[in-house]
């Protein structure tokens, strides 16, 4: 059974996801994933998670300061630039952790990683992957050709537009028609890539969302352009996240409903052939044909994690707390499953 791990965007809040992954790896070592879908900070986590490099993930998300990730400038000096911040430090981290040797091991592992980006020129959600992926009417698919392109896709997915510069993922690919296309954070279009997992055949999905289901009223006043812009983009991203969850969950609920109706019809003595006939029409194709309900686990914090708007504040002590919170939340989630008579596979 194909199983996917989906990690949303959230900057430094990614430490929460690392906590969840760390707990699962320690307590359920036989619970493995075939697919890893990352958006923004999720794209930094997914490849390392695919190779079970938990210690490296924990080090990455509990020791970095903001200056280890971005360069902050005076906003007045950046009006003619394509971003408020620079990402040279982040690029150095990407090159360090996702070396050519790392990419070779990833390819040999057979694990598939999906990296969500947004193309500024086409406005499309573009999903880069280290393997072939299923086509989609809702987003563009691209197969990574080189380790450098993989690193560029990771960086692009993590670069929040306006604050961080767009990335030319295909610049070094000779003959590529989109060499000059610029890519930014996939969270502009897709906060959590559950659809990618479904499209590519996942039957069980663990989705780690880094935003709390309910937001808290803040008591601070925003007094400068930078903080207002930062907060506005954060609100936009959270709204995208809420919308992303609606369709996959409704789709799955519809599948569960159809399955329950079919079981009721079978108990009433209706044959399988007749049941299938009832759910088939000549005019309208059945979008649920041969589809079975998915097992979707949504793991998210029960209160805002901090990290500043958009998770652009990287403070080791705070991220350590986020990591510990991730461990606590997944432990509580699994305990609740067990009280309901289910088990974590």
Contact 7, 14 (CB under 8 A): yes
Q: Please give the pLDDT value at position 225.
A: 67
Block residue for tokens 């008579």: 341
Predicted TM-score of the model (pTM): 0.85
Active site residues per annotation: 40, 185
Between the alpha carbon of residue 22 and those of residues 25, 56, 317, the distances in Å are: 5, 11, 18
How big is the chain, counted in residues? 345
Q: Write out the two tokens for 205.
A: 């999905």
- 8-42 burial, b at 16+ Cβ within 10 Å, e below that, comes to bbbbbbbbbbbbbbbbbeeeeeeeebbbbbbbbbb
Q: Please give the pLDDT value at position 264.
A: 86
Average pLDDT of adjacent 10-residue blocks, the chain of 345 residues? 89 96 93 93 96 96 94 81 91 96 96 96 95 92 95 95 92 82 89 85 91 74 71 63 62 73 85 79 66 80 86 93 97 90 76
What does residue 326 show for φ and ψ, rounded to 5 degrees? -60, -40
- 190-200 burial, b at 16+ Cβ within 10 Å, e below that, comes to bbbbbbbbbbb
Q: Please give the pLDDT value at position 312.
A: 87
All residues at 6 or more sequence positions from 11 whose CB lies less than 8 Å from its CB, including other chains: 40, 41, 160, 307, 308, 310, 311, 312, 313, 314
Q: Please give the pLDDT value at position 146.
A: 94
All residues at 6 or more sequence positions from 237 whose CB lies less than 8 Å from its CB, including other chains: 9, 187, 188, 191, 310
- C-alpha 82: how far from chain center: 25
Q: Please give the pLDDT value at position 26.
A: 94
Q: Please give the pLDDT value at position 287.
A: 64
Q: Write out the two tokens for 286.
A: 């059945």
Contact 71, 88 (CB under 8 A): yes
Q: Write out the two tokens for 276.
A: 């299938």
């Amino acid at each position: 059974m194909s199983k996917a791990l989906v990690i949303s965007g959230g900057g430094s809040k990614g430490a929460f996801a690392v906590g969840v992954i760390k707990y699962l790896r320690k307590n359920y070592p036989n619970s493995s994933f075939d697919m890893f879908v990352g958006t923004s900070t999720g794209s930094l986590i997914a490849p390392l998670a695919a190779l079970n490099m938990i210690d490296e993930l924990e080090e990455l998300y509990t020791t970095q300061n903001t200056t280890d990730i971005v360069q902050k400038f005076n906003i007045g000096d950046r009006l003619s630039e394509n971003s408020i911040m620079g990402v040279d430090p982040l690029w150095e981290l990407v090159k360090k952790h996702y070396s050519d040797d790392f990419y070779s091991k990833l390819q040999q592992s057979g694990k598939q990683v999906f990296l969500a980006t947004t193309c500024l020129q086409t406005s499309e959600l573009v999903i880069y992957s280290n393997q072939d992926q299923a086509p989609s009417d809702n987003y563009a698919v691209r197969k990574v050709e080189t380790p450098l392109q993989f690193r560029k896709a990771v960086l692009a997915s993590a670069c929040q537009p306006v604050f961080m510069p767009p990335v030319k993922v295909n610049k070094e690919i000779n003959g590529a028609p989109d060499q000059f296309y610029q890519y930014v954070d996939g969270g502009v279009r897709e906060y959590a890539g559950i659809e990618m997992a479904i499209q590519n055949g996942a039957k069980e999905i663990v989705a780690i969302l880094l935003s709390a289901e309910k937001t808290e009223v803040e008591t601070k006043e925003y007094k400068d352009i930078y903080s207002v812009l930062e907060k506005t983009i954060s609100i936009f991203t959270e709204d995208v996240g809420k919308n992303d969850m609606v369709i996959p969950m409704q789709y799955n609920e519809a599948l569960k409903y159809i399955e329950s109706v079919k079981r009721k019809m079978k108990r009433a003595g209706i044959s399988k052939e007749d049941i299938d006939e009832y759910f088939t029409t000549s005019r309208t194709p059945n979008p649920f044909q041969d589809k079975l309900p998915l097992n979707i686990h949504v793991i998210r914090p029960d209160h805002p994690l901090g990290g500043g708007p958009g998770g652009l504040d990287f403070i080791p002590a705070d991220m350590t707390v986020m990591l510990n919170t991730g461990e606590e939340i997944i432990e509580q989630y699994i305990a609740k499953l067990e009280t309901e008579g289910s088990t974590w596979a």
